[in-house]
Amino acid sequence: MTSRMDIRNIAIIAHVDHGKTTLVDGMLKQSGIFRANQIVEERVMDSNDLEKERGITILSKNTSIRYEGVKINIVDTPGHSDFGGEVERVLKMVDGVLLLVDASEGPMPQTRFVLRKALELNLVPVVVINKIDRPDSRIDEVVDEILELFFELGASDEQLDFPVVYAIARQGIATLDPAVPGKDLQPLFETIIRHFPAPVGDADAPLQMLVNNTEYDSYIGRIAVGRIARGSISGGETVMVINREGSRKNYRIGRVYAFEGLERVEVPQASCGEIVVVSGIEDIMIGDTITDKDQPEALPSIVVDEPTLEMTFMVNDSPFAGQEGEHVTSRKLRARLYKEAEKNVSMRVQDTDSPDIFKVAGRGELHLSILIETMRREGFELQVSKPEVICRKDDKGQLLEPMELLLVDIPEDKMGSVMETLGNRRGEMVNMGPNGPGQLRLEFIVPARGLIGFRSQLLTETRGHAVMNHTFQGYEPFKGEIKRRYQGVLIAFESGEATQYGLLGAQGRGTLFVTPGTKVYEGMVVGEHARDQDIEVNVCKKKQLTNHRASTAEATVKLEEPRTMSLEECIEYLGDDELLEVTPKSLRIRKRLLDKSERARAKKNSNLA
């Protein structure tokens, strides 16, 4: 066994918005991979359209830099716990992690989540305190909080002896002493080289490589990304692939690539310790082992936490089906969902008794909504149901449900209403403390189903002056029923086009979701009722015209601004008897049963039951 002193494999982990991708930008620029006159986008690693729009990392991505003859392979990971599957599988490729923490906010729920995974794998940590230039930074307190977090998560003595680097990622500077301003990121580079271990392996032993990621390239087909644990791999050689079930099959490797900056560069051969991309194996899956054909030996497969939330995806059968989308059949919907499950290891797809309905399970609302948004941009039409948590039973048959650790930062005067809201959602407060002048930070343990729809309610209660973060905590006994929605809805009475006159009559009943000219159909939800029961309204009603004019001019009545909801807000809003129709151009909430008499009959039968 020898050490590859010319390589370091590291991952950058952090909570959302603490500056991971911005720090990678600075490291790439200062390593000299860009030309002097090259125009470089901000957050260059966030290459996905949704990542750029939302300002978050969704997919783990690889890059590399060189510093004083050492190649540093870097994996940029998502910060949101909904994409924890991405984090869990890529941590198998690295020997250490850069834990990035905001100098003001300190360790947050997702910091705890990703750090726990890293410590369980015995990875070496280096802590980077970012944004030390913030006026509200509290560097010493944050370092103490991080140390306390390490203790809580059961870090070893070696892991507790972590070095601390202080940085301003946006300016591309770092220092080992916050009192001494930095000039560049050299202190960070030197800490990486000095503190992170070099990969260890036997280059002469039979090949072993675990597949941590798969992609598709339009030129070379399906490709596998992973780290060579033992031996070496060359383009054109014959290898054996052992899948999760243990079945074995020989394949001929196409090409082998290594990461150089943001590019994949073809290499004739790569040996142990290197992170590589391999082509030529068409049906390769995440968790498979690429090994020597004469001395095959499988590596332990990737194990990720099970999904906690489930939704039903189905073919769009509304009256407007097929008008806006390109892919509308169950065959295409099924193929797309199973293709997603191949590369998204924390997602599960399951067939049902109906060929048009599929169950999809994921880590949270954001995890599933990103899939839905991606599919609608690809031209799919579909319908989805209200999210439901996935419960389990213990050995004694007791029902257990997933719980979340929730942190909310709110103004002090809103504490009462927020605590009441979370109390109604079966939340239990476990900690409370100040978070700056006039601000409080509250910690709750809440059932995962209690957080569905909570974000929009929290923003309403605090008039937008609140920040919430949460992460999966574990399973606890079922906490009882939770009422999610306290208002009924306004349902379109007939199909047609919404008119100004019809909407004026309906807006007195509640809050509208549609504008004049919007096409609606019977059973479509067009607004929220002011009371707790559903009601039918005729938003297509037209004013009867006569040849008589009133002696007094009619008072001008203006329509109120309709409530517009994002995809996540629509998913949160859904009731038990409702579906969300998703097309490339529209989002429509509708009743499962569009006909009024059918809904009345179903309600009567449920009451009798």
- Of 86-90, 369-373, 432-436, 484-488, which gets the smallest average pLDDT? 86-90
Task: Give tens-digit pLDDT for 489-530.
Answer: 999 999 999 998 889 888 889 999 999 999 999 999 999 998
Task: Give tens-digit pLDDT for 384-405.
Answer: 999 998 888 888 888 999 888 8
Share of the chain above pLDDT 90, in %: 30
Q: Is 419 helix (H, G, I), strand (E, B) or coil?
A: helix
pLDDT band (50, 70, 90) for residue 29 = confident
Task: Give tens-digit pLDDT for 255-308.
Answer: 899 888 778 888 999 999 898 989 888 888 888 899 999 998 988 887 777 788
Report whether 479 contacts 401 (CB < 8 A): yes
Task: Give CATH superfamily name and number for 489-564.
Answer: bipa protein (2.40.50.250)
Give the per-residue pLDDT at 394.
84
Report whether 228 contacts 274 (CB < 8 A): yes
Length of the chain: 609
pTM (2 d.p.) = 0.75
Residue 117 annotated as binding site? no
Rounded to whole angstroms, how far apart are CA atoms 487 and 13?
Answer: 41
Give 202-292's CATH code, choosing from 3.20.20.60, 2.40.30.10, 1.20.120.1810, 1.10.10.10.
Answer: 2.40.30.10
pLDDT band (50, 70, 90) for residue 552 = very low
Number of separate helices (H) and strands (E) present in the chain: 14, 37
pLDDT band (50, 70, 90) for residue 45 = very low
Rounded to whole angstroms, how far apart are CA atoms 599 and 609?
Answer: 15
Rounded to whole angstroms, how far apart are CA atoms 552 and 50?
Answer: 54
- What are 275's strand-pairing partners? 227
Give the per-residue pLDDT at 50.
52
* Angle at the Cα of 278 from the Cα atoms of 296 and 305, rounded to 5 degrees: 75
What's the chain's Rg over C-alpha atoms?
27
Give the per-residue pLDDT at 49.
56
Per the model's pLDDT, the better-predicted residue between 276 and 552 turns out to be: 276
String of DSSP letters for 304-354: -PPP-EEEEEE---STTTTSS-SB-SHHHHHHHHHHHHHH-TT-EEEE-SS
Give the per-residue pLDDT at 576.
86
Token reading at 103? 């100098």
Question: What CATH code is assigned to 2-200?
Answer: 3.40.50.300
Element at 439 (helix H, strand E): strand 439-447
pLDDT band (50, 70, 90) for residue 335 = very high
Rounded to whole angstroms, how far apart are CA atoms 400 and 448?
Answer: 12
Element at 240 (helix H, strand E): strand 238-242
Q: How far is CA 248 from CA 15, 245, 281, 448, 490, in A?
A: 39, 9, 13, 40, 58
Evaluate if residue 54 carries a pLDDT over 60: no
Task: Give tens-digit pLDDT for 82-131.
Answer: 555 567 777 888 999 999 999 888 887 777 777 888 888 899 999 999 99
Task: Give tens-digit pLDDT for 5-21.
Answer: 889 999 888 876 777 77
String of DSSP letters for 286-297: TT-EEEESSS--
The gap from C-alpha 25 to its chain's centroid, in whole angstroms, comes to 21
Residue 131 annotated as binding site? yes
Q: Is 323 helix (H, G, I), strand (E, B) or coil?
A: coil
Query: To which residue do tokens 């100040």 refer?
Result: 434
Rounded to whole angstroms, how far apart are CA atoms 493 and 595?
Answer: 9
Q: Count Cβ atoms below 10 Å from residue 433 Cβ, excluding itself.
A: 8
The gap from C-alpha 193 to its chain's centroid, in whole angstroms, comes to 31
Give the per-residue pLDDT at 495.
92
Query: What CATH architecture is 392-477?
Result: 2-Layer Sandwich (3.30)
Task: Give tens-digit pLDDT for 173-202.
Answer: 999 998 888 888 999 999 999 999 998 888
Rounded to whole angstroms, how far apart are CA atoms 366 and 307?
Answer: 13
Domain boundaries of the chain, sorted by first residue:
2-200, 202-292, 392-477, 489-564
Rounded to whole angstroms, how far apart are CA atoms 81 and 362?
Answer: 11
Residue 111 annotated as binding site? no
Phi, psi at 242, each rounded to 5°: -110, 120
Residue 183 annotated as binding site? no
Residue 19 annotated as binding site? yes
Query: To which residue do tokens 């009545």 refer?
Result: 557
Residue 22 annotated as binding site? yes
Pick from 518, 502, 526: nearest CA to 594: 526
Report whether 405 contacts 470 (CB < 8 A): yes
Q: Count Cβ atoms below 10 Å from residue 247 Cβ, excluding itself.
A: 9
Residue 469 annotated as binding site? no
Task: Say which amino acid occupies 355.
Answer: P
Pick from 569, 578, 562, 484: nearest CA to 525: 578
Task: Give tens-digit pLDDT for 207-262.
Answer: 999 988 887 777 777 888 889 999 999 988 999 999 888 889 999 999 899 888 77
Report whether 418 contacts 407 (CB < 8 A): no
Token reading at 345? 């290891």
Token reading at 260? 């150089």
Residue 18 annotated as binding site? yes
Residue 359 annotated as binding site? no
Report whether 271 contacts 6 (CB < 8 A): no
Residue 144 annotated as binding site? no
- What are 126's strand-pairing partners? 98
Query: To which residue do tokens 């439901």 refer?
Result: 388
